[in-house]
Structure 1
Amino acid sequence: MATIPLSDRSFSRIARLMHGSVGLSYGPNKKSLMHSRLAGRLQRLGLRGFDDYVDLLESADDGGEFQMAVDLLTTNETYFFREPAHFALLQAELQRTRPQQLAVWSAASSFGDEAYSTAMLLADLEMMGCIGPDWSVLGTDISERVLQSAVQGIYPADRLRDVTPQRLKRHCLRGEGDSEGLVQMRETLRERVRFGQLNLCAAIEPLGPFDVVFLRNVLLYFDAKTKSAVVDRVLAQLRPGGLFFLGTAEGRVPCKTPLTVLAPGAFRKETRP
């Protein structure tokens, strides 16, 4: 079956809908990406073209298709201990401060790789006596589909390629038989991580305060104005003096909240107003 073309008109309709509803920004240079992510969905639904698809997305009873479109447009590759320098900095900070209580927020958690990576690190630091036992990790994302997968905590083994053998043994179960090639987080780790759906472009009810916040590799979906608003909205949940991480390629996003640069993509929320 031939691929259904995406006209400029249909692209603009979808781009406006995504920006108005969830803050996602798609300039003309993202047209091919949008087409590649959504074309197969149209074929599976038996639709004649993208205008029909937008009509479905805008309908009052879309059968969950709008959420599916958001999932398809925002899901990217992720893996455990991505950008390891951030985890090394976090470990050094916690070994220095030795907190007895600790709350961490993975604000764009996707499939949960980042949240569980953090939980592995914290569990190991607790075992070493560097932090107290009262710690928790919250992972949030706009996609229900990825969150359902995150709760299960099952991953292809390649996604854990940067996890040390010792950590794999302590925190993971290797699949056998039909599950060979898969890895599941042990229950003792999964019970320390909570997941919930959250739209970062809408008002955020009090979730924290948190001592550490990760907001990595999600701002690329937003325009400049939305980026600044999202960062300030997220930083309102972070304690003064807390650590804040962005993707290293995202640079420093202009925001009203005072931040001190610690390393590429790593910041401390200043204690002054």
Structure 2
Amino acid sequence: MAELALSDQVFTRIRGLMHESIGLDLAPHKRTLVSARLGPRIQRLGLSDFDDYLARVCSDSDGGEFQMMVDLLTTHETYFFREPKHFDVMVSELQARRPSGVRVWSAASSFGDEAYTIAMLLSELAAKRTIGAEWSVLGTDISDRVLHSAKEGIYPAERLRHVTEPRLKRFCLQGHGEAEGLVAMRPELKSRVSFGHLNLCHSVEGVGLFDIVFLRNVLIYFDGPTKSEVVDRVLGQLKPGGLFFIGSAEGRVPCSASLQSLIPGAFRKV
């Protein structure tokens, strides 16, 4: 089947729609990526071109196609215990403070690998009575598809390659037969983790206040002003003295809150 042509005009409209709705910054050089990711979808829907597809996405009865477009244009690469030094900082800080309760927010949770990683560590700390029994993890994302998967809590074993054997036995169920190669989170762990849909470019006050916030590997999708707005919005939900994490390679983002740098990508809200 012939590849569909993406005109400059329609690409500009797609860029504007994504930036206005979810803050996604599609730079001019991303045109080929947009064409490659949306082209097969357009053909699968039986539409003739990108104009027809954009009309479908922008219609009042889009049938969920806008959400599908978001999923296709954003990458959800993740795995358990990614950037482990951040989790070391979290554990070390909690061991020093010994709080009675802990609320953690995984603000761009994708498929939930990060949220369940955090839950494993908090469960271990609670078992040692380093923290109190009242702890929870909230994972939010803009993609309904990844949130549905996160709630299921079932993963290819490869995604848990950095999870130790004792943790696998304690927190996970290994698949057998047709489920060979899959790993499911145990109900006891899942009960401590909740997931919800959230657009970081809109108000986030409804999520409440947190002791620790992870906002890792999502700022790369935003332009400079949007990055600062998102970080300020998220930090507004972090308690004074709380921990804030971004991707270690994302650098320090300008924001109105005062942050103390701990290690690359890890900060304390002053």
The TM-score, its normalising length taken from structure 2, stands at 0.98
CA distance in 1, matches of 2:223, 2:32: 18
Match in the other structure for 1:25: 25
Where does residue 211 of structure 1 map in the other structure? 211
Equivalent position of 2:173 in the other structure: 173
Once the two structures are TM-superposed, the CA of residue 117 in structure 1 deviates from its matched residue by: 0.4
Q: Is the contact between residue 75 and residue 110 of structure 1 (CA under 8 Å) also seen in structure 2?
A: no
Partner of 1:78: 78
Q: Which moved more, 1:42-51 or 1:260-269?
A: 42-51
1:206: Cα distance to partner?
3.1
Tell me the residue number matched to 2:12. Answer: 12
Matches of 1:90 and 1:50 in 2, distance apart? Answer: 46
The structural deviation recorded for 1:208 is 2.2
Measured after TM superposition, the shift of residue 131 of structure 1 is 1.1
Could you list the per-position Cα deviations for residues 89-141 of structure 1 after superposition, in whole angstroms to 9, with x for gaps in the alignment? 11111111111100000000001000000000111111122111110000000
**Residue correspondences, number:** 270
CA distance in 2, matches of 1:119, 1:26: 33
Equivalent position of 1:127 in the other structure: 127
Could you tell me how far 1:36 is from its partner in structure 2? 2.4
Match of 2:38 in 1: 38
Provide Cα deviations, 1:138-173, integer angstroms capped at 9, x if missing partner: 000011111011001000000001111110110000
Deviation at 1:43, TM superposition (A): 1.6
Contact 2:76 2:111 in 1 (8 A): no
Secondary structure of the 2:25 match is coil
Preserved CA contact (<8 Å) 1:206 1:237: no
- Once the two structures are overlaid, the 10-residue window that deviates more, 136-145 or 202-211, is 202-211
Residue 233 of structure 2 corresponds to residue 233 of structure 1: yes
Question: Which residue of structure 1 aligns with residue 64 of structure 2?
Answer: 64
Counterpart-to-counterpart distance in 2, 1:181 and 1:4: 37
Match of 1:101 in 2: 101
Partner of 2:195: 195
Kept in 1, the 8 Å contact 2:209–2:238? The answer is yes
CA distance in 2, matches of 1:122, 1:4: 49
Query: Displacement, 1:249?
Result: 1.2
User: Partner of 1:250 in structure 2?
Assistant: 250
Distance apart, 1:253 and its partner CA: 0.5
Q: Distance in 1 between matches of 2:170 and 2:204?
A: 35
Asked if structure 1 preserves the Cα contact closer than 8 Å seen for 2:245 and 2:266, the reply is: yes
Q: In structure 1, give the amino acid aligned to 2:259.
A: L
User: Could you say what secondary structure the match of 1:242 adopts?
Assistant: strand
* Per-residue Cα deviation, 1:192-223 (whole angstroms, up to 9, x for no partner): 00000000001123322100000001111111
CA RMSD of aligned residues (A): 1.0
Looking at structure 2, the residues matched to 139 and 30 of structure 1 have their Cα atoms a distance apart, in angstroms, of 28
Structure 2: any 5+ residue segments left out of the alignment?
none
Deviations 1:41-85 (A, max 9, x none): 112111111111111111111111001101111232110011001
Q: Any idea what SS the aligned residue of 2:11 has?
A: helix
Q: Measure how far apart 1:10 and its partner are.
A: 1.9
Question: Which piece of structure 1 moves more, 180-189 or 45-54?
Answer: 45-54
Deviation at 1:37, TM superposition (A): 2.0
CA distance in 2, matches of 1:122, 1:218: 23
Q: Matches of 1:6 and 1:142 in 2, distance apart?
A: 25
Deviation at 1:186, TM superposition (A): 0.2
Q: In 2, Cα distance between the equivalents of 1:136 and 1:61?
A: 37
Q: Give the counterpart letter for 2:136 in structure 1.
A: S
Report how far residue 35 of structure 1 moved: 2.0
**Contact conserved, 1:47 with 1:53, CA < 8 A, in 2?**
yes
